[in-house]
Structure 1
């Protein structure tokens, strides 16, 4: 166990009372409670934490927060709990933590992959687009395996995740993102107004920049103390929810935000009853974005050595964690922020080698205080290089306009080129940023949702302005939500510090040499030279530059690199920054684990399993099930010694000769109710509905606007103002959405209500010549005679003493009924029907027999015999289009010239020359099997089965001009030979339909 040589006694806010042990790459270290892994490593003098992705250059800790691009480690609690790519700057230290560096072999200090750095000229921007093009044959055998082996950072876990994850939904009037001074002020003002408030922050403690600012006073208290007092006050309020360790990763439509809360990752021995992470989906009336700003590094040669850090990060490690990042520290800056870091370090006893300031005449209170402390200041100079290998050992300085160089010994180099407002979430909300020409920064411009940005993310340059913006936003949000204004005056703030913006130091002139590596994106090894090369090769859009160079595409998503890339591209193009454009910010803001998104939806819960009310009976009677969407459906019911084909053949013959019972509960069912119900149906379906009498049914076709079949089903009219609509099993949800969309957006004047009742009704289809004999003893109050209840009728009454909607309809072509009963009675009614069916030789049949029976009659299944490009005419269903109808969804699309001309694929029957051959569904059809490859395909097989009732194979297919090819021989090329087929009608059994009416 090593000591902590860089921990300064008495500095910071952590108490050394509890020492924590941890390992990094097998070496043992100690830290204190409240450390992050990064602060604990720095306390032990460890700067080297990883290797870059492309060049495998040594990399160290750059930042102190979520913007960290370098210090990515793998954290392992046990063999099953290994998490790669954890940012050391946000991983809280716990006793026994085990972390390992990544992307290196055999060790972090000696990495064979560093040879890539020596061959850097071969790996310049866009090399992958140019290198792997030739020879063509080398891709599969040489390039792809090696690229796949080299891809990625860290090693993914190879065991199932033993942890569990939770999700919560929440509503509030005000959601505040960011727990710094602005966010706390906004939360206080809103909460005191009496509205529901949620305040979240990604750190373990609220406070934001107050983690490192020392001189600020708010309401008479030191800034940090005020923050903790305010948080305690908020925690005691019933209308406030505080979410520390919670990152807002996505801003979606209608003020819905995704948050991920880390629940146990910081615990020594996590309670396994607790979720590891919790996903919050929050809908807020108003969102206050107080996401702060991100400090940018300086761009110069070899600026990536371990020990080169952001100035604000070094200040955070000192003032909050009590850790000095070095003993001989250099500063390179273009704004006053870094001076405050130098002052704090100097007062803590750390030697400041020199401040190198690119500005010609820096001035102000911070500059004067630094001079008063005896810190050497070098204005008008630039750092043009660094020395060292695994840690920076020196900085090379020269006048910015050229001149003699000077080497200054340092063991840490702190840089700051200004601050970039964090507008990620604002952009995700579809807000449009605006460019502040005077300060050279992008700030929130036009808002698209009910949100407001405050503080540094809104361009505020000082604490007083930050707190004022936050407080005002909180008050306004509260009053807009019906709350009250409780304070007579705003908060009192006393702070001299100001945060400078602008793009100075972002790279004009930096790294202009052909061999200089001045890094912009540390993780992906993107240099200033790469950006310039991309522009010279024709990439004039920043989005193209991003993809050509991979700048901003690492796990930090460009938080420290995007603006540098933009500035250098603009300089190279000779254009103002706004004209070059800004890359699109997309969720997630920081990486999110799969576990937090998936939650409980894994294993058996990966997808909901839906079972019909009769599932238990089918299971008990030996049914083999298939998955149809989320439904478990009985596929077939094998008897002893039967395989699937034998069982299906028996079921099909039994249905035709006697009867069969089929569980049709999965059909979509929608109630269309209201005085304008018929008018609505006229507009949504091709068929006429106004004159359909109550008690009668009709087969209906629904189209998309382009004229193609969208869904079909039988519709029963129960009353003048009520229709019972059935849909395909897979189409239930989308048809409901389709109807609701048109009702709300196109036909809002119609008085109609839509209700999905798919789960409310269990459906037993009793099909076959003896179907009436089976149901008749059980039905009450319904006359089942052909005269009283002809085919395509619906009646309401009782069966087995429970209410029923009884449809006389058939999907087999025989006399048939569909018995609809409340779902709770589904199995009981099924069992009663089964008992009656046994007296008449009936069987239970499954979905496979259902498919065969319907194909024998040429009945289509939407989605199988249609493919999204089939019109009613293509499917032979012109008769289902109202001849006198002048308007319905799809009528204009259906009349397009390309949908009515010759050469369209039409649904026809296909009979193989050898009746024993069953075609494969999806097989392609050609007119000439001897034509050269690639052959011209004229169609494909949509449905194909063996029909025991027909004594041969049957099939349907979509064939170009199919109905004009009746009797023609076509060919189906297969790997083992060519199959001859004859084009026939689609009806293979009972073509006149005599059996339908019994």
Structure 2
């Protein structure tokens, strides 16, 4: 197809590297740096998917991870196919096969669209009110029909051909998000010399600065500032940069989990490279700079292909060199859309602004200078069109609520802006407390529960200079410095904003379908119905209507729904509350989570220190728990019985050696260690002298034997506990459970040391004679080293704990 909507000489795409991929079997032209969504728009394709419930035609809504509409199946060949990928974040790669989903027989002609005609039946909670009678129909008709209609994409049924790896990392400061706040924070933290990791979900770092062509920072263009900042960070050995990496979970103890997409952007990836890498990061301090999500406006038929977020129009024009439409109407209740409108006008597009605010507030100056027509104090009644938007119906707003005479505006694209919602997901996952800021009509981070700080738009700060200063302060503070820095940024960021839950209209609100959750087809009237039927808790409304339960997890729909509930109940938004943010922030492949667990990594075989020596001596091995342990050493022609009898005679008459490293070992340390041992075992331990050993028998609560092993008291506050080979994990868990839940008053620390100590059992009447020449620092005489004792010294210079215990079978 021809790139009918590609703009000349604009954008960050590499026009020297053209590429081609297929969408539903049609060849699509693009360039390196494109996403699938931007390439489709450049080729004039606006219909990209179908909604879940009504199968309504849908186009792209956003340009990032908050996309609810354009979900695709991606086939990279060789069993590398997966569904439900957002076209807005799929890198355009030559040879890629992309297809839309949730339709039959085709995207353009979907039989499922009959559901749209039946929408009066499929209201909020319809599944709780239907399928009740006749009861016998449930198994034969209702359930099979529902299950056949469930889901979006089709899960692959072939083995995954890709490789996945896990990696653990520690850093002093982890910065999540590489927009203006994240870059400033990373530089400030890096200057301290601390170990810094900076991750960002996009292919390029820079955030909103990547599509900002008008702002200057310290006298430099935004793109130049980004390039200079990244060069500075890349040149520091204490900094790790991770593009294409999403922080999707924030857990206890500043444990943040990332997923890095390593090869999805490569046409011919190196087979030695993994497709994805899962990072388990333990950070000393975390700086969250994840930005914010633009909100859509609620008006009738606001879901037609071609209707998208205003900032996304700006991103497609400035970053990807794409005209989402030739005649664009921007509908807004705030000043931020004026930047997008002015940029679109500067790119040669026909632009009109419809502003619900009665006056032309701050931010309109450039739009007026560009000659953009502004309809202030107007509302959008609805849209026209079928598989693409063809126009808007607008009208003036009288007395703040009444609607005047309608008029039509022809357009092929609508950029809507209903305000901004800070991306507080990771902060909330960390168990931080949110609070509501009325002036921006949004929840922002409040008190932190972990060593974390938020900066920039995710903290409710939208002025560019303030964002940079806040990021710098957060990074410096995270690195232990009390540094601040002022940044010169121009022009000032427009911030005027007047919240509107549903745009004023002269239509019956119970008949108008103004969509809030685009993927699940949840409308404003669905929210009204849920509240009318008694669901006032936001969590109940969410589940009754499925608002915010789609693959985007409500990134664009949660706040509009909360605001509407607040308006219906006549309660402030903080009293209505907000939903719970849970990991993952965006969907994560099963491969990234568990794909590395294959073969021996799935069922690992643990080997003792003498494994290779035993193998060389011809040992037969047995599996004990997860260990491969030497069983016996047969000579040629011997069976197991003959070999064991020979070995027993040798030990009884002379000496034998056995690798007992598989035994579990736990170090119990602390001022209350003896008291803890006295409680966890039925044996008495308080009077056991340091340097002595005792056989320990551990019981369960029912009195049955749980485990056993020899315990050595190394000092007054330290015990060396041994367990059976298979019992080590459960004994450790048992001890931890009682220490944390039953006896939290005890000052004791438990450490698994099974892998720290090799255990060599030397048995037989000549054991002392064999050992003596190699031992230093220990008197092996029977008087100095009696039975059931422990001593510390060295064997061949290696630190050793030597126990004199009975261990002969």
- 1:266 corresponding residue in structure 2: 265
Please state how far the C-alpha of 1:511 moved relative to its aligned partner: 8.5
Distance 2:669 2:488 in 1: 61
The equivalent of 2:551 in structure 1 is 555
| Counterpart in the other structure of 2:492 | 496
Aligned counterparts of 1:419 and 1:751: Cα–Cα separation in 2? 49
Other-structure match for 1:5: 4
Give distance in 2, aligned partners of 1:723 and 1:192: 44
- Evaluate the alpha carbon distance shift between residue 752 and residue 273 of structure 1 in structure 2; reply closer, same or farther with a 3 A threshold: closer
Q: 1:169 to 1:143 in 2, by over 3 A?
A: same
Match of residue 378, structure 1, among 360, 375, 378? 375
- CA deviations 1:57-103 (Å, max 9, x no partner) are 11100001111111111111114011211111111112222110011
Whole-angstrom distance in 1 between the partners of 2:256 and 2:158: 31
Q: CA deviation at 1:432?
A: 0.7
Q: Describe the superposition over 1:566-625 as per-residue Cα deviations: whole angstroms up to 9, x where unpaired.
A: 1111112221111011111111111111222225212442242335778988x9999896
2:802 and 2:140 mapped to 1: Cα distance? 65
SS in structure 2 of the partner of residue 122 of structure 1: coil
CA distance in 2: counterparts of 1:803 and 1:346, whole angstroms? 79
The residue aligned with 1:114 is 113
The answer to which structure, 1 or 2, has the higher relative contact order (CA under 8 A, 6+ apart) is 2
Q: What is the deviation of 1:412?
A: 0.9
Deviations 1:477-520 (A, max 9, x none): 3344xxx96x9x53322223324556324568799633322111
Q: Does 1:580 align with 2:576?
A: yes
Q: 1:606 to 1:398 in 2, by over 3 A?
A: same
Residues in 2 aligned to 1:675 and 1:326: alpha-carbon distance in whole angstroms: 73
CA drift of 1:200 comes to 1.7
SS of residue matched to 1:291: coil
SS in 2 for 1:736: helix
Q: Which has the larger radius of gyration?
A: 1
Aligned partner (choices 396, 404, 428) of residue 393 of structure 2: 396
Q: Is the 8 A contact 1:300 1:511 kept in 2?
A: no
Structure 1 range deviating more: 678-687 or 454-463? 678-687
Corresponding position of 1:94 = 93
Equivalent residues of 1:77, 1:97 under 8 A apart: yes
**Matched residue, 2:47:** 48
Shift of 1:757: 3.8
The answer to whether residue 199 in structure 2 is matched with residue 204 in structure 1 is no
Pairwise CA distance, 1:333: 0.9
CA distance in 1, matches of 2:523, 2:628: 55
Deviation at 1:393, TM superposition (A): 1.1
Which moves more between the two structures, 25-34 or 471-480?
471-480
Counterpart Cα distance in 2 of 1:384 and 1:752 = 66
Gap runs ≥5 in structure 1? 637-646, 766-774, 783-787, 809-816, 820-998
How far residue 55 of structure 1 moved from its aligned partner, in angstroms, is: 1.2
**Is the CA contact 2:61–2:67 (under 8 Å) kept in the aligned structure 1?**
yes
CA distance in 1, matches of 2:557, 2:703: 48
Aligned equivalents of 2:362, 2:688: Cα separation in 1:
86
SS in structure 2 at match of 1:448? coil
In structure 1, how many angstroms separate the alpha carbons of the residues matched to 2:593 and 2:570?
44
User: How far did 1:399 drift?
Assistant: 3.3
Which residue is equivalent to 1:408?
409
State the shift of 1:127 in Å.
Answer: 2.1
CA distance in 2, matches of 1:440, 1:102: 35
Gap change, CA 1:675 and 1:119, over 3 Å in 2: closer
What residue in structure 2 maps to residue 542 of structure 1? 538
1:75 is the counterpart of 2:71: no
* CA distance 1:146–1:682, change in 2 (3 Å): same
Pairing 1:401-800 to 2, within 5 Å after superposition: 401-480=402-481, 490-500=486-496, 503-505=499-501, 513-610=509-606, 628=625, 630-631=626-627, 668-670=664-666, 678-690=674-686, 698=695, 700-702=697-699, 711-715=706-710, 725-727=721-723, 731-739=727-735, 746=743, 756-757=753-754, 760=757
Contact 1:675 1:752 in 2 (8 A): no
Gaps of 5+ in 2: 633-639, 771-781
Maintained 8 Å contact 2:49/2:59:
yes
1:240 Cα deviation from its structure 2 partner? 1.9
In the TM superposition, what are the counterparts of 1:318-333 in structure 2 within 5 Å?
318-333=317-332
Shift of 1:149: 2.9
Q: RMSD value over aligned CA atoms?
A: 4.0
Q: CA deviation at 1:717?
A: 5.7
SS in 2 for 1:314: helix
Once residues 763 and 511 of structure 1 are traced to their aligned partners in structure 2, the CA distance between those partners, rounded to angstroms, is: 85
Provide, for residues 770-818 of structure 1, a one-character-per-residue CA deviation record: whole Å limited to 9, x for no partner.
Answer: xxxxx86776689xxxxx9xxxx95889xxx99986766xxxxxxxx65
Tell me, in whole angstroms, the C-alpha distance in 1 between the residues paired with 2:557 and 2:498. 14
Question: Matches of 1:26 and 1:542 in 2, distance apart?
Answer: 43
What is the SS of the residue equivalent to 1:16?
strand
Compute the displacement of 1:358 (Å).
1.5
Distance 1:498 1:533 in 2: 36
Shift of 1:437: 2.1
Q: Distance in 1 between matches of 2:90 and 2:144?
A: 33
Q: Distance in 1 between matches of 2:804 and 2:504?
A: 80
- Structure 2 counterpart SS, 1:193: coil
Query: How far 1:251 moved relative to its partner?
Result: 1.4
Give SS of 1:270's match. Answer: coil
CA distance in 1, matches of 2:710, 2:251: 38
Task: Kindly state the Cα deviation for residue 378 of structure 1 after the two structures are TM-superposed.
Answer: 2.0
TM-score computed with the length of structure 1 as normaliser? 0.70
8 A contact 2:165–2:277 mirrored in 1 = yes
Residue 686 of structure 1 aligns to a residue whose secondary structure is: coil
- CA distance, structure 1, for counterparts of residue 687 and residue 473 of structure 2: 63
The alpha-carbon distance between structure 1 residues 510 and 55, as it changes in their structure 2 partners (threshold 3 A), is farther
Q: Which residue of 2 aligns with 1:247?
A: 246
Against the structure 1 CA distance between its residues 604 and 168, is the aligned structure 2 distance closer, same or farther, given a 3 Å change threshold? Answer: closer
When residues 710 and 200 of structure 1 are mapped into structure 2, their CA distance, relative to the original with a 3 A threshold, is: farther
Deviations 1:643-683 (A, max 9, x none): xxxx99xx9xxx9xxx9x99997654445578976443212
User: Match of 1:22?
Assistant: 21
Q: Is the 8 A contact 1:685 1:703 kept in 2?
A: no
Choose 321-330 or 500-509, whichever is displaced more.
500-509
Does structure 2 retain, via aligned residues, the 8 Å contact 1:171–1:282?
A: yes
**What is the 5 A alignment of 1:259-298?**
259-298=258-297
State the number of aligned residues: 768
2-structure distance, mates of 1:299, 1:610: 59
Q: CA deviation at 1:342?
A: 1.7
Does the Cα contact within 8 Å between 2:662 and 2:754 map onto a contact in 1? no
Matched, 1:359 2:357: yes
- Deviation (angstroms), 1:439: 2.8
Partner of 1:918: none
Give yes or no for contact 2:333–2:498 (8 Å, CA) kept in 1.
Answer: no
TM-score where L is the length of structure 2: 0.85
Question: Does the alignment pair 1:31 with 2:26?
Answer: no
Deviations 1:285-313 (A, max 9, x none): 22222111111010111111100000000
5 Å matches for 1:182-201? 182-201=181-200
State how 1:304-343 maps to structure 2 within 5 Å: 304-343=303-342
SS at match of 1:123: coil
Offset at residue 732 of structure 1 (A): 1.8
